[in-house]
Amino acid sequence: AMSTPPIAPVFGFVRPPGWEKADPQIHEAFDELVAALGDQAFELPLPPVFDTAADQRRLINFAEMAYHYYPYWRDAPEDLGPEVRKAIEEGNKVLARDYQSAKDLPKVLTAALEELLTRCDVILCPSATGPAPKGLDTTGDPIFNGLWTFC
């Protein structure tokens, strides 16, 4: 592990969907990193199929919440928080065909990533849109932090 690698690794920098909403600090940090890596790094654009990944992940999550939380929804909806109730309401509207189609998307995304990894050894991508938020009101931006989990 301490020896010099026989071949320098190649890094592909990915600007995920929603990159334009990221904090300027994230933009600056990644620009600096890519510049420091020089010829070892290049921008690796994601195929357009990734543009809808966050929406599809949300559709799956809410449909599954509607299913799994149904006993609570049926018996004591007032015990559920407003965000959970809203998510369940949205999940109740998901059609089976849309749910099944969304469930197939990770296979497509993973295949696209395999293709991208033939061009580089490592993918560099921010996992958040900026510094961690204070408090417990959010777990972050689902576009950034949900993309890779969805794959």
**Rounded to whole angstroms, how far apart are CA atoms 129 and 37?**
22
Whole-number Å distance between alpha carbons of 91 and 121: 38
Assess contact for 14 and 125: CB atoms under 8 A: yes
pLDDT digits (tens, 9 = 90+) for 52-78: 898 999 999 999 999 999 999 999 999
pLDDT single digits (tens) 89-121 = 999 999 999 999 999 999 999 999 888 889 999
Q: Is the pTM of this model over 0.85?
A: no
